[in-house]
Amino acid sequence: LLQVLIDWINDVLVEERIIVKQLEEDLYDGQVLQKLLEKLADRKLNVAEVTQSEIGQKQKLQTVLEAVHDLLRPHGWTKPRNVDSIHGKNLISILHLLVALAMHFRAPIRLPEHVSVQVVVVR
């Protein structure tokens, strides 16, 4: 699953010259997530391009996660990702976020057999 998601991100961001090698290390500060969301959703987020401080990184990550939540909420995605868990490099939180984005944008990837995605439709 990790390699499938890394390859997908790298394919999407090839024009940005961004190469992800390790999800926890490359996505925790919001920079790559920002670029990924902007490319997939075809919209620009109003955040600083580069942030060095932990506070700046968390603010950027919060903005990116709010944009993801706003995008996915109408489609039944209710569990917002915690800024501290992603900034803390929690792989499970990062995987949940990436799988949700991949499913929403119908990424041309094949999830491994042991990965299941449950879709609940609320009317």
Domain boundaries, the chain: 2-104
Give me the amino acid identity at 30: G
Instruction: Output the CA torsion sign for 111, 89, 35, 14.
Output: negative
Please tell me the distance from the alpha carbon of residue 64 to that of residue 46, in angstroms, as a whole number.
9
Contact 120, 61 (CB under 8 A): no
Structure confidence at residue 50 (pLDDT): 78
For residue range 7-62, what is the model confidence (pLDDT) as tens digits?
A: 999 999 999 999 999 999 999 999 999 999 999 999 999 988 778 899 999 999 99
User: Residue 80: CA atoms inside 13 Å, Cβ hemisphere, count?
Assistant: 14
Please tell me the distance from the alpha carbon of residue 11 to that of residue 8, in angstroms, as a whole number.
5
Q: What is the DSSP letter of 81?
A: P
pTM of the complete model: 0.84
Average pLDDT of 92-113?
87
- 2-104 under CATH 3.40.367.20, yes or no: no
Q: What is the DSSP letter of 30?
A: S
